[in-house]
Amino acid sequence: MLSKIKKYIKKYTKRFYVILLITLFFIAYLWNHIFIFIHPGQAGVKWERFKGGTVVNGYRDEGTSIIFPWDKIYVYNTRIQTVADSLSVLTLNGLTMDFEFSIRYRPKKLLVGMLHKTVGPEYQESVIVPEVKSILRSIIGRYKPYDIYTSQKAITEEINQESILRLESKYIEIIDVLLKKIVLPEKIKIAIEDKLEQEQIAISFDFKLDREKKEAERKKIESQGIYNFNKKVSESITPDILKFQGIRATEKIAESQNAKVIVIGAGEDGLPIILGGQ
């Protein structure tokens, strides 16, 4: 019995090694099609050849995914990404302005399957940039160069709101759209800067005029108060009060240790006349 087993092993050993080598060869050849590595900041979308194509109700999270070699996983970057571009736009009065802008975005992780099914991995070039350019043309075309130059913040907010709303339906989250540079024709730029300078001069003049008016009003109120005070004081002072105060002052001088006073005769209303002292 033992000899039969040895003969059997000897007979099929070569065949076993051949099958093992072929199996290992196919595993090595198909390794990247069976073991899919999804790194941090990524999400995978599975495509099944025999089970309906793209799996849209979920995604493969970071880690190692094992699939059949005839299936496939498409890996998407779910971190915030940036794309920059430029554009020439006609303003409301028909002048051309050049813009440099950047877009910060990321795919919606929970809907990355729908993004892959409806748009595909090249969604940046096929959806994001064209849509944002269309929004820029539409919004900037409503304004004149002067309004664009002086209201960049408000216009940027309007562009962001429209971009977020429109691309949300494409399963993409827009973080923001930034206008990095606005290039005006030189003559228009000079005209706008001159207008802004004149506006600042006018604002400064109005401020000074308003300040002078307030100062004049303050002085008027102050002088009226002084006049009213003096009038009341003059009405309240009588000759008897003046005489009484003169007597008190004379008494204090006479009581002073350092005073040497010579009084000769009498002054007006019977008050003494002080000729000298220390």
Q: The domain spanning residue 93 has which CATH number?
A: 3.30.479.30
Q: Which domain holds residue 175?
A: 81-184
Residue 276 lies in a domain: no
Boundary of a domain, candidates 77, 110, 144: 77
Mean pLDDT rounded to a whole number for the chain: 80
Residue 57 per-residue DSSP state: S
Boundary of a domain, candidates 31, 56, 77: 77
The structural domain count of the chain equals: 4
* Confidence at 264, pLDDT banded by 50, 70, 90: very low
H/E segment holding residue 152: helix 152-168
How many of the other CB atoms lie within 10 Å of CB of 151? Answer: 13
Residues 170 and 220 in one domain: no
Residues 92 and 157 in one domain: yes
Share above pLDDT 90 across residues of the chain, in percent, rounded to a whole number: 36
pLDDT in tens, 74-112: 999 999 999 999 998 888 877 788 899 999 999 999 999
Q: How far apart are CA 184 and CA 181, in angstroms?
A: 10
Residues 179 and 199 in one domain: no
Tell whether the model's pLDDT for residue 276 goes beyond 80: no
- pTM for the model stands at 0.61
Contact 162, 131 (CB under 8 A): no
In Å, how far are 48, 219, 263, 272, 274 from 266, measured between CA atoms? Answer: 130, 45, 8, 5, 10
Residue 275 lies in a domain: no
How many of the other CB atoms lie within 10 Å of CB of 207? Answer: 10
pLDDT in tens, 214-263: 877 877 787 877 777 667 766 666 666 666 666 666 666 666 665 555 45
Please report the pLDDT score of residue 152 as a whole number: 85
